[in-house]
Amino acid sequence: MTHKHVPVLIVGGGLSGLTSALFLARHNVDYLLIEKHAGTAMHPKAGGITFRTMEVFRQLGLEAAIRTASEPLDNIRGRIAVETIKSIDLEELEKVESSQPAIDQKIKENIKKVSPSKPASCNQMELEPILLQAAEQGKGHIHYNTELIEYQQDDSGVTATIMDRETGTKELIRSDYLVAADGAKSTIRQHTKIPTTGRGVIGGHYINIYFRADLSHFLKGSQFGWIQILNPEVFGAFITVNNRDEWVYHVAYNPSQGERPEDFSEERCCEIIKKAIGVSNLDIVIFSILPWAAVEQTATCFQDNRVFLIGDAAHLMPPTGGFGSNTGIQDAHNLAWKLAAVIHKQAHPRLLQTYHDERHYAVEVTTKCASDLLFSAINKGVSTLNNMDHLAVTVGYKYSSTAIIEEDSATTHRMDQLELNGRPGTRAPHMWLKYQDKCISTLDLIGENFVLFTREDNSLWHTAARKVSSHLGVPINVYDIGSQGDCVECEDSWEELYDVTSQGAVLIRPDGFVAWRTKEGESNPHLILKQVMTSILW
């Protein structure tokens, strides 16, 4: 066997794994990503991208490409429930559809207040190639058709045996860290023996049928994203893939009655689709058939020494709300800058413990919301939807860890409404600025290094950041915000939005979360900033 060393070995080439690769490369960390399948996803899963995840992709310069890929589904909206597709009342459909734009507009306006990005509809089959192409242009190595055979870790690293599935050739990889992005049936999580909590299957079992069929005759241009079929023989839902002729149909099945995924042949799936549509003479082409279940499951710990669980390997949640893949992508975002800081010897390895501390809480909040949405939809159990705001779940959770310098405050962070006001542990507020003759968001200044926002003419903070950066070997970018600073306010007041005075300052981490804030300013900026950075990193 050949031997190779790489700082990070990523196992799994799905959305979480590819995002890990992209952010590690951005932080100048070499990696090897292996994926057991021969290429990117061949089935259109995980179609909804939240505006927070689009902010993450914006940092990578991929927002425009993803937006273009999502254009066919830009106008897809709303849900309807019918007996069959054929039974749709087009006049009634038009009435229902006409009420949707007002609802959409209100959501868009709420998002526009807090983010430079908008949600997108781009399924995994379309998104993975975009991420892969970007990854192939940067640092690191990606091997498909390659699987992890075994691994062992010690005090100084991880030794893994990987195998090319086509040739059978094995290779020994020595890495400093291993990122487990190997999905819901993660063999790495099983190897760590980390237990999971959660109620398991809570929303039933389904067969996901990806197929081609022309349904335009029945829909007459209607663009509903979800068409519930109430026919008890084939109870399920149609979801469009390309807004033309490609669809997935989710049909329920019951294992307790002896039904198995293997029972759903292409022939049977064609008959199911025909019954759901309400016709018997339609041309249907089946592309793929996958079983799935609405599951609630979370690993009790996302770290096992030098091994980190991300995405579905760490947590599973019902698809209601569309949080699943978005949560995994944000896991990768949170972990990457911390791995980079430790690998570049800019931080103590204990910084890596904050990955679990921060993301496990965010996952708990998100899973609860997804489950509540599911229970509300199927009228099962007790739903507490009124206690949790959807926007707050998307971007408004608050991290608590040693990588956050908490403020002495008697107020509890709320999740029943979105609060982004510069409080440490929350995502830095978005506002529009004029910077170098361009209109940008505050979030566009964040992503690679630590960032210090302050008011114009606060030169002491520039000096402090320069000295601390030199002392710790950690870059800190400083931006003055005001009517005449580096960054000129376009509309909002920076002081009001970030809840600081003209002498205040806000330190933001590479992942866009506020690490520390001083509202009134400090008598010795150099000393306090040195203490803050040292506390976070060391």
pLDDT tens digits, 508-518: 999 999 999 99
pLDDT band at 105 (very low <50, low <70, confident <90, very high): confident
Are 333 and 478 in a shared domain? no
Asked if pLDDT for residue 492 goes beyond 80, the answer is no
Are 319 and 463 in a shared domain? no
For residue 138, what is the domain's CATH number? Answer: 3.50.50.60
More confident residue, 343 or 482: 343
Instruction: Return the axis-axis angle of helices 459-472 and 525-537, rounded to nearest 10°.
Output: 40
Cβ-contact 127, 120 below 8 angstroms = no
Are 348 and 474 in a shared domain? no
pLDDT on residue 379: 64
pLDDT band at 386 (very low <50, low <70, confident <90, very high): low
Q: Among 223-227, 266-270, 372-376, 404-408, name the one with the lowest average pLDDT.
A: 223-227
d(CA 518, CA 465): 14
Cβ-contact 318, 371 below 8 angstroms = yes
pLDDT digits (tens, 9 = 90+) for 405-454: 998 876 888 888 898 999 999 999 999 999 998 999 999 999 999 999 99
Residues 188-219 as b/e (b if ≥16 CB within 10 A, e otherwise) read bbeebebeeebeeebbbbbbbbbbebebeebb
Instruction: Give a yes or no: residue 255 inside a domain.
Output: no
Q: Among 173-187, 320-334, 365-379, 504-518, name the one with the lowest average pLDDT.
A: 365-379
pLDDT digits (tens, 9 = 90+) for 306-349: 999 999 999 999 988 889 899 999 999 999 999 999 999 999 99
Cβ-contact 35, 144 below 8 angstroms = yes
Which one, of 329, 348, 330, lies nearest residue 338 by Cα? 348
Are 444 and 358 in a shared domain? no
Instruction: Give a yes or no: residue 22 inside a domain.
Output: yes
Beta bridge partners of 82: 229
Q: Among 77-81, 271-275, 362-366, 399-403, name the one with the lowest average pLDDT.
A: 77-81
Number of folded domains that form the chain: 2
Instruction: Give a yes or no: residue 208 inside a domain.
Output: no
Four-CA torsion 109, 111, 117, 120, nearest 10 degrees: -90
Cβ-contact 49, 56 below 8 angstroms = no
Range of the domain at 491: 432-537
Are 36 and 141 in a shared domain? yes
Four-CA torsion 143, 144, 150, 153, nearest 10 degrees: 40
| The domain boundary residue, chosen from 363, 378, 412 | 363
Q: Helical H runs in 244-323?
A: 266-277
Are 356 and 442 in a shared domain? no
pLDDT on residue 96: 66
Instruction: Give a yes or no: residue 495 inside a domain.
Output: yes
Instruction: Give a yes or no: residue 465 inside a domain.
Output: yes
Instruction: Give a yes or no: residue 482 inside a domain.
Output: yes
Are 473 and 358 in a shared domain? no
Cβ-contact 211, 246 below 8 angstroms = yes
Cβ-contact 483, 489 below 8 angstroms = yes
For residue 527, what is the domain's CATH number? Answer: 3.40.30.120
Which strands form 285-299's sheet, in the order they lie side by side? Answer: 79-82, 226-229, 236-240, 246-253, 196-212, 285-299, 315-316
d(CA 28, CA 36): 25
Beta bridge partners of 454: 480, 505
Instruction: Return the axis-axis angle of helices 324-343 and 353-378, rounded to nearest 10°.
Output: 180
d(CA 33, CA 11): 6
Cβ-contact 246, 315 below 8 angstroms = no
Cβ-contact 32, 10 below 8 angstroms = yes
| The domain boundary residue, chosen from 363, 389, 418 | 363
Are 125 and 17 in a shared domain? yes
Enter the tokens of residue 274: 């025909």
Asked if pLDDT for residue 100 goes beyond 70, the answer is no
Are 442 and 327 in a shared domain? no
Average pLDDT over residues 144-152: 97
Are 359 and 478 in a shared domain? no
Q: What is the mean pLDDT of the chain?
A: 91
Average pLDDT over residues 21-26: 97
Instruction: Give a yes or no: residue 70 inside a domain.
Output: yes
Tell me the whole-structure pTM to 2 decimals: 0.93
pLDDT on residue 449: 96
Are 336 and 444 in a shared domain? no
Q: Among positive and negative, which fits the CA dihedral 68, 70, 72, 76? A: negative
Average pLDDT over residues 288-301: 94
d(CA 537, CA 487): 28
Average pLDDT over residues 197-214: 92
Tracing tokens 């507020």 back to the chain, one arrives at 429
Instruction: Give a yes or no: residue 184 inside a domain.
Output: yes
pLDDT band at 381 (very low <50, low <70, confident <90, very high): very low
Tracing tokens 């990578």 back to the chain, one arrives at 60
d(CA 128, CA 328): 14
pLDDT on residue 118: 93
What contacts 24+ positions apart, CB below 8 Å, involve 252-259? 252/204, 252/205, 252/206, 253/205, 253/206, 253/207, 253/291, 254/204, 254/205, 255/205
Are 459 and 319 in a shared domain? no
Enter the tokens of residue 25: 């490369």
| The domain boundary residue, chosen from 311, 332, 363 | 363
Which one, of 448, 469, 452, lies nearest residue 333 by Cα? 448
Cβ-contact 509, 450 below 8 angstroms = yes
pLDDT band at 2 (very low <50, low <70, confident <90, very high): low
Cβ-contact 476, 390 below 8 angstroms = no
In three-state secondary structure terms, 198 is strand
